[in-house]
Amino acid sequence: MKKDLLKVGLAQIAPVWLQREATLEKVINYINDAAKQGVSLVAFGEALVPGYPFWIEPTGGARFNAKDQKEFHAVYMDQAVQIEQGHLDTVCAAAREGEIAVYLGIIERAKDRGGHSLYCTMVYINQQGEICSTHRKLMPTYEERLTWSQGDGHGLRVHDLGAFTVGGLNCWENWMPLPRAALYAMGEDLHVAIWPGGEHNTRDLTRHMAKEGRSFVISVCGLMRPQDFPEDTLYLNEIMKGAGDKEYFANGGSCLSAPDGQWLIEPQVGEEGLYVAEIDHARVREERQNFDPAGHYSRPDVTKLTVDRRRQSTLDLIDD
């Protein structure tokens, strides 16, 4: 039945690194292309706007009070996204005009946390061009902690999209059983996992989450090759020297699994592109016959999860 069908797009692209407006322009071009192909949901990689902090590892980012690290962070902050300043307005307009929902990974300069700390945020924009959730990554991974702050549970939300209920997580959050369980309990049956890029992350976990949740699972990755760094990149020679002979900083790996763990799109490595597939909600209902993690195969009398979705702040203002 047509009501069960949804066309989804996986936009595997490299950013115009540390350049917010140029990267957003590229994102909008892919949104427009997806809309022309009849896609109802298009997703982009983690931290795509303005890019993943690829400088940290090759430049020894853990050196305390290092001048180059401060300079990188200042540029990163300047090029990060402030939603309150309208930085995503053009993306919302493209979603509205194309009647297409969007998941987009950004670096958010959060005004409600003082405006000078950065969060790895997953933004959901609906088909009417409205920002419906901003999920700040709960726990940055390894060197990410040198530039990103810890998020909160405010963005752990799902959204109705056709016959589906869609939700998502950032990168290694997808390894965290409790956030996954929270989304399952909210009715998620289409999961979007966004990554900076890495087939080593997506090949096993995507299929695992699909079989665990009996849901369709999309993993969407960024891509970063040495030639993707702009020529005027800060400390570019030091980055390349520290990286050695890397062919990729992020090799992609975008893919799509059905609820039984079978590939609909196998991991795509090394190339930019828009990968499109049509998914059928009937497949979810079929696989939930024998396992439903938040329904008939749960025991809330034995184990139950509490989720705090309040937006965390250091300030409560009490005015006259």
> Does 137 participate in catalysis according to the annotation?
yes
Domain annotation covers residue 40: yes
Domain annotation covers residue 199: yes
pLDDT at position 128 is: 98
Domain annotation covers residue 32: yes
> Does 46 participate in catalysis according to the annotation?
yes
| Residue of 9, 7, 6, 5 lying closest to 34 (CA atoms) | 9
| DSSP secondary structure, 135-165, as one string | EE-SS--GGGGGT-----GGG---EEETTEE
**pLDDT tens digits in sequence order for the chain, 320 residues long:** 489 999 999 999 999 999 999 999 999 999 999 999 999 999 999 999 999 999 999 999 999 999 999 999 999 999 999 999 999 999 999 999 999 999 999 999 999 999 999 999 999 999 999 999 999 999 999 999 999 999 999 999 999 999 999 999 999 999 999 999 999 999 999 999 999 999 999 999 999 999 999 999 999 999 999 999 999 999 999 999 999 988 999 999 999 999 999 999 999 999 999 999 999 999 999 999 999 999 999 999 999 999 999 999 988 889 97
Structure tokens at 155: 């963005």
Domain annotation covers residue 308: no
Residues 224 and 47: beta-carbon distance below 8 Å:
no
| Residue of 189, 190, 184 lying closest to 220 (CA atoms) | 190
Sequence-distant (≥ 6) Cβ neighbours of residue 298 within 8 angstroms:
292
pLDDT at position 99 is: 98
Number of domains in the chain: 1
| Residue of 109, 95, 58 lying closest to 235 (CA atoms) | 58
Residue owning tokens 């997703």: 43
Domain annotation covers residue 9: yes
> Does 272 participate in catalysis according to the annotation?
no
Strand runs (DSSP E) across the chain, as ranges?
Answer: 5-12, 41-43, 101-109, 118-125, 131-136, 159-161, 164-170, 190-195, 216-221, 252-257, 263-269, 273-280
Write down the catalytic residue from 92, 108, 144, 171: 171
Write down the catalytic residue from 26, 46, 108, 221: 46
Domain annotation covers residue 157: yes
Domain annotation covers residue 30: yes
Write down the catalytic residue from 92, 120, 137, 144: 137
Domain around 151: 2-287
Q: What is the CATH number of the domain that holds 80?
A: 3.60.110.10
Residues 259 and 150: beta-carbon distance below 8 Å:
no
Domain annotation covers residue 153: yes
Q: Three-state SS across 172-215?
A: HHHHCHHHHHHHHHCCCCEEEEEECCCHHHHHHHHHHHHHHHCC
